[in-house]
Amino acid sequence: MAVDVELEALLRPRQYPMPPYPPKVITLANGKKMVVRQAVREDVPAILKSVHPCMFIQRDFYNIVSARLYGELLAWYYYRAKSPYCLVGQVDGYLVGIVNGRMENEKVGMSYHTLAIDRGLRIGSHLFAAKMEYHIEYLGQEEVLIVAESPIGHRRWMIEYPLEPTTIPHELGGGDSWRLTRELYFAAKPRLVVGDRPVPQDLMDKAEEAILFADDDTIRERIAGLKGR
């Protein structure tokens, strides 16, 4: 694609400096080790392969969340998103979950989506906790604005943390935002934010070698909770 450099400079939104998210490893309920690490822009095509089949799964609102996530990742890939980030969960290199969001400004974080590709292991819960950890502890933000599209999401974030309701619109255009403050984060941290650092080198090497994609059928079965344990 030919790039008009001057026009691109107008189209590309502002990027705040963002310190990296230090990777961690979480031992899942099935004993497997999930590496949680920050994706880079060049990872987007590999991540999209796993998001794509989820766009056609109606169960538990996977379709709407995946379609939106797909667009957000493309926006990042083509420099059309302001200060975005994406964290991935990998088991033996395979992508098992994705979270993303962005900085609205230095103090306010905007949470986008959480997608668990393997079910029943709290992978989504662990990854959502990692993104809150990133906003509050590494980006040093005061608050994160969050909405839920699914009843499971509502239970996991609004009820489990718990988050506080606000009347602030959320950029995803749904219900008003719920807010995670620093105080709420640190109160929830002992219960919900888990993982060990540093990640052993062999696990890190495997995760960084490639973001593996099972195949469409395996992903559909995993989301139905039939495989992957």
Ligand X SMILES: CC(C)(COP(=O)(O)OP(=O)(O)OC[C@H]1O[C@@H](n2cnc3c(N)ncnc32)[C@H](O)[C@@H]1OP(=O)(O)O)[C@@H](O)C(=O)NCCC(=O)NCCS
What is the rounded distance in angstroms from the CA atom of residue 227 to the CA atom of residue 2?
Answer: 44
What is the rounded distance in angstroms from the CA atom of residue 16 to the CA atom of residue 38?
Answer: 16
Which residue number, 127 or 203, has a Cβ lying nearer to ligand X? Answer: 127
Contact call for residue 152 and ligand X (CB under 6 A): yes
Contact call for residue 60 and ligand X (CB under 6 A): yes
Which residue number, 37 or 156, has a Cβ lying nearer to ligand X? Answer: 156
Contact call for residue 122 and ligand X (CB under 6 A): yes
Contact call for residue 125 and ligand X (CB under 6 A): yes
What is the rounded distance in angstroms from the CA atom of residue 185 to the CA atom of residue 188?
Answer: 5
Closest distance to ligand X from the beta carbon of 228 (Å) = 10
Contact call for residue 55 and ligand X (CB under 6 A): no
> Which of 53, 84, 153, 228 touches ligand X by CB under 6 A?
153
Comparing CA positions, the residue from 12, 1, 3, 10 lying closest to residue 80 is: 12
SS3 for 68-101 is: HHHHHHHHHHCCCCCCEEEEEEEECCEEEEEEEE
What is the rounded distance in angstroms from the CA atom of residue 198 to the CA atom of residue 208?
Answer: 15
Alpha helices in the chain (DSSP H): 5-11, 44-54, 62-77, 123-133, 151-153, 182-192, 201-209, 216-223
* Residues in binding contact with ligand X, number by CB under 6 A: 21
Taking CA atoms, 89 is separated from 15, 47, 56, 178, in Å, by 24, 11, 21, 24
Closest distance to ligand X from the beta carbon of 56 (Å) = 13
> Which of 46, 52, 61, 218 touches ligand X by CB under 6 A?
61
Query: Using CB under 6 A, which of the segments 84-92, 152-160, 177-185, 203-211 binds ligand X?
Result: 152-160
Query: Using CB under 6 A, which of the segments 25-33, 109-117, 168-176, 182-190 binds ligand X?
Result: 109-117
Query: Using CB under 6 A, which of the segments 115-123, 174-182, 184-192, 193-201 binds ligand X?
Result: 115-123
Q: DSSP character for 159?
A: I
Query: Using CB under 6 A, which of the segments 57-65, 132-140, 188-196, 209-217 binds ligand X?
Result: 57-65
Q: For binding to ligand X (CB under 6 A), which residues are involved?
A: 60-62, 65, 114-116, 119-125, 148-150, 152-153, 156, 225
